Structure 1
Amino acid sequence: MILYDNSILKLDYDPATDILEVAYPDLHDFLLVEIKYSIDQLIENVNNYDVKRLLLDSSRTVIAVNGERSREITSYLAASLCKTRLQKLARLQSPDSTVEVTAQSNIKHIETHLHLPFVLRNFTSRKEACGWLTTN
């Protein structure tokens, strides 16, 4: 069921598996304020539905901002998720090596600077990610 949908984020929740699926937004300077607002909507829905499993699809993400801006958005998302009861976050990797290098750098940064109360794993396949999310 679609919980939220705008031009930046679409939240698709499956109550049977308790998996909330969201595509990581394209990062453009002119969208950063709207992206933060959309992340706030994501967090509100994670809290309202007490979501424990999140599938973050970065496979089609475009990054058109500098590394600092990208890190800012990633850190904002991670810090916001730390305030929820999320237990597992599966991230679908980008096939674009430039995007993936930036993403891995951002992940390393948040793992160093934040105590993540959820487990974060990267996957190249949606099937594997969903399988991991649904296992105890």
Structure 2
Amino acid sequence: MHLHASPDQIDAIAEGDPDEPVVMLNLLKYREVAESGHGVDGMSGEAAYREYGRRFAELHPRFGGEPIWMGRAGNIAIGPDDEDWDIAILVRYPTRSQFVAMFRDPDYHAIAPIRAAALADSRIIETTQLLPKT
């Protein structure tokens, strides 16, 4: 179960070009019922994640974090058969430094427990553009 970034993971991301835009691939598996004690008691994992998303949107002016694509995750064509994701989201940050700053910000730390309460497992994978923009 992977719900929190480690300081070493954020430090590794911070080593890249601070001004480069990044798109973070989020793979999410909801809990049936959100973990208690984080203000989303009794909600489904999906509903609790929507609450996290609402609060995350309030941070958008400072950090970017604009969802550019979201969809239901389907069958795995290549990869472990035991991974099962509900949702995939691509979130664009104008700069890598804004993403890193978000993970180090106390306002983000205040809402991160809601994300963890909502999810059974997750991945956030940094991506940078290789193909020319059209």
| TM-score range normalised by the length of the shorter chain | 0.3 to 0.5
Structure 1 length-normalised TM = 0.38
Structure 2 length-normalised TM = 0.38
Greater Rg by CA: 2
Highest RCO, 1 vs 2 (Cα 8 Å, sep ≥ 6): 2
- Greater helix fraction, Structure 1 or Structure 2: 1
